[in-house]
Amino acid sequence: MAIIEINKLSKTFKVKIKDKGLKGSLKAIIKPQYKMVKAVKNISFKVEKGEIIAFIGPNGAGKSTTIKMLTGILYPDKGNIKVLGIDTKLERKKLAYQIGTVFGQKEQLWTHLTPYDNFKFFGAIYDIPESRVEKKIEEFRVLFELDEFINTPVRNLSLGQRIRCEIVASLIHEPKILFLDEPTIGLDPVVKENIRTLIKRMNKEYKTTIFLTSHDVGDIEKLCKRVIIINDGQVVLDDSMENLKYHYLNKKIVEAKMKEKINLDDEEGITILKDKGYNLKIEVDTTKKSVADALKLLNPDKIVDINIANIPLEDIISNIYKKEGTKK
């Protein structure tokens, strides 16, 4: 059963515009002018229970606007949203009890209080009985390894510790869906990895559906099985991560270290990316030439070392962004 259903959703913003200089400023006071910006254009998709879904796109693509509509913060202009069967426009407060939100750039914890006091606070505002809150805190203390800092004021925590607490705070009321908007922004690679592990664990233990937006390809690659790409307010791709990685571009990168120099000419299905005599880097389009054929061209007897890799996900995604950008 779909836990999130979006049908032909659109949102337009009215944005104030101003001409250049002082004259423009005066004009804006007397006769303010506005332009309409279509942030989200007619998008539709469904999310199943227990999925970890990446909702990505370049800046200004409409990701945050969509997430804000999904969480009841903004009303859509057109279309329908059902989250857990709840109409986000009509039953905002009811929805609040069922979902959790973490906005990486928006702190929701009280900085002068300890994580423990914060968790108690969130438990109270979601009307959770105190004994249940205590039980949940105890559970999360172990799961999220909070022992070291659960009684330290939030203002004294590192960013990674704070994000961990932000996630726990949004889980205290046991939401069925967790919306994570750039949860690993500004974190170092080790802490990022740690947060990803915790998100995965949470999804496994509590079957919480995760709706994630991130610019970090590592988050998407390591956490999500499905990816929705949005650009210029439209869904440009909705596919499994597997398909995206292995079939969307059908390209492999072959890096080889040769015993002797080799002269390789461009031919169909092969693009030479780097040729430094003994070191060679080529891109193989597997729809036109198999990797085996490409290796034959290199002459396997002369290969000292070889590395065959998929195109980095980052390149695939930025390629999709660019492609959609040039279509406009």
Partner 1 sequence: MKKYWFIFKTEVMSNMQYILNVLAGFIGYFIMLFIFFNLWKYIYNEPNQIINGYTMSQMIWYVIITEILWSVLSGRKYCAKIIDDVRGGNIAYNVNKPYNYIGYCLATHLGSCFIRAIMYIVLGMFIGLIFLGNFPSLNIFSILAVLITGILATVISTLLLTFIGLFSFIIEDANPFYWVYSKLILVLGTIFPIEYFPTFIQPILKFSPIYVVSYGPAHLFVNFNWAEFINIIIFQFIYIIIAYLMCSLVYKIGVKRLNVNGG
Residues that bind partner 1 (CB under 8 A): 13-15, 37, 39, 59-60, 63-65, 67-68, 71-75, 92-93, 95-97, 99, 101, 103, 106, 108, 110, 112-113, 117, 120-121, 124-127, 153, 181, 213
Output 186 or 312, the one with its CB closest to partner 1: 186
Measured from the CB of residue 154, what is the shortest distance to partner 1 in angstroms?
10
Measured from the CB of residue 198, what is the shortest distance to partner 1 in angstroms?
23
Beta bridge partners, 227, equal 54, 239
Strand 226-231: give its sheet, edge to edge: 99-103, 177-181, 209-213, 52-56, 226-231, 234-240
User: Using CA atoms, how far apart are residues 218 and 13, in angstroms rounded to an integer?
Assistant: 32
Output 64 or 194, the one with its CB closest to partner 1: 64
Measured from the CB of residue 60, what is the shortest distance to partner 1 in angstroms?
8
User: Using CA atoms, how far apart are residues 132 and 137, in angstroms rounded to an integer?
Assistant: 9
Which helix or strand (DSSP H or E) is residue 116 part of? helix 115-125
User: Using CA atoms, how far apart are residues 181 and 62, in angstroms rounded to an integer?
Assistant: 12
Output 95 or 294, the one with its CB closest to partner 1: 95
Output 169 or 284, the one with its CB closest to partner 1: 169
Output 72 or 269, the one with its CB closest to partner 1: 72
Output 128 or 258, the one with its CB closest to partner 1: 128
Given phi > 0 = left and psi -120 to 50 = alpha, else beta, which region is 9? Answer: beta
Dihedral sign from CA coordinates of 160, 162, 168, 171: negative
Output 71 or 194, the one with its CB closest to partner 1: 71
Measured from the CB of residue 64, what is the shortest distance to partner 1 in angstroms?
2
Beta bridge partners, 267, equal 270
Output 97 or 206, the one with its CB closest to partner 1: 97
Measured from the CB of residue 308, what is the shortest distance to partner 1 in angstroms?
37
User: Using CA atoms, how far apart are residues 45 and 3, in angstroms rounded to an integer?
Assistant: 11
Pairing of strands 209-213, 226-231: unpaired
Which helix or strand (DSSP H or E) is residue 138 part of? helix 130-143
Measured from the CB of residue 97, what is the shortest distance to partner 1 in angstroms?
6
Listing DSSP states for 18-34 in one string gives --SHHHHHHHHHHS-EE
CB-neighbour burial class of residue 191 (10 A; exposed 0-12, middle 13-18, buried 19+): middle
Measured from the CB of residue 100, what is the shortest distance to partner 1 in angstroms?
11
- Gap between the terminal Cα atoms of the chain: 35
Measured from the CB of residue 300, what is the shortest distance to partner 1 in angstroms?
49
